Chains A and B, each alone.
Chain A
């Protein structure tokens, strides 16, 4: 796999990055994780881009009775309420979830919700998306508005006839209405540019070519205390723009880009329940090389961090598609799931990476 011109594995470095003016975006499970990370560490972020993602803690929206365990309820809710509700009325209740977020903040598990007020949000749902229903994404917008985000700061896009995907202008990507891996579709524009342009309204156009460094780093140090349940890969990736690499930028901003399910660099398809190791898909590195983030980051001195989740399917963790955790599979105690707080394994790991960049 070619991640950069170098085959080196580096330690994630420090760049004295901004501690407040950072941002995050993601697709699908990466979008659900974007919302969680944004809420958990809202003091660190100025905005977020959510492509086909639902509101905070929506997997806990419904607990039918005592016979159903919290773990089982979360899984069923995630599938049938947070992704695929039969009708709009059974999409996750934004009002209830906003109240849960307030309560979670009061309990000190996430940053103060007041930090969100002036954040800028890009929220997208393709009108042909049959993986995460548009009604769910509409609830995400409502959820943020209920938490005090100014409606003018939200760019909500639901008119593009796109399937479940991040959109690019690459001729080799899938047709726009496609709903299948690698979930990178050609819609004639770079969605990553729209996201960053909306969050930071003063950006220069994307660079035509890259002069910075795309580095592979060992991300295991950030979840060393929970390797058995983190479901994160050995390597993460980072793009360092040329001006930042040369030390010419004071307090560079950081954007965290989270891939969706089946998009991590070492994702392996499962055929009849077994990893298809002889036919690994050729798109493992596309999310961090061809989705356009690096080009607009280069011209605007923004560091782009690409943490990577990996597929795991064993007695400890059931996550064969390599999704980010938004229904509790990493929880130490499945009956009291913690996948959303500052102490959740993946959130803690990703934010520790951000802390390193800021040091």
Chain B
């Protein structure tokens, strides 16, 4: 069965008086602008993180001869590669499942079932792509935060 929209309602657990549907019309009209501004703010925040991490990296130059720093740097690299490997496995598993689903569409024996199966296939395909993109962004944020935290502990306090 399709998950949209019959079985999916509006946010019934939202608190009364604050749900998006009850927002003033003016606020709804400004939503596209607000969303764009928020996206810009988030990108700027990541840019600021990168800048901050670059400064920390420069501060690490004083510890280039410290084998512990190199060891932990290597562990960070390996952890990122491991996460990418897991994501690749999830992508391949997802594609394999979708290929099976696609092959089963031909068993539909009415036009409505055919339409439903095709719709389900494209929904699942979109979900897989969304999950992959979300995971990549999560990993990017994870790297930025963890590297910054790690480097801030390694950089000498007087630098």
| A-to-B contact residues, CB < 8 Å | 61-62, 64-65, 67-68, 72, 76-77, 79-81, 84-87, 89-90, 93, 227-228, 266, 268, 271-272, 274-279, 310-317
Contacts and interface: CB of A to CB of B under 8 A. Distances in A.
A66 B157 CA distance: 18
> Chain B, interface size: which category?
35 or more
Contacts of A68: 45, 48-49
A62 B79 contact: no
Contact of B52 (A65, A89, A279, A315): A65
B106 interface: no
Contacts of A89: 72, 75, 150, 153
A68 to B, nearest CB: 7
B11 A274 contact: yes
B145 A312 contact: no
Contact of B18 (A67, A85, A86, A315): A315
Q: DSSP class of B's interface residues: helix, strand, loop or mixed?
A: helix
B13 A65 contact: no
A252 B150 CA distance: 47
Interface string B68-103: 000010011001100100000000000000000000
Q: DSSP class of A's interface residues: helix, strand, loop or mixed?
A: loop
A313 B11 contact: yes
A62 B11 contact: no
Contacts of A86: 76, 79-80, 83, 142-143, 146
B152 interface: yes
A177 to B, nearest CB: 15
A58 B12 CA distance: 32
Interface in B1-27: 3-4, 6-15, 18-20
Contacts of A310: 13
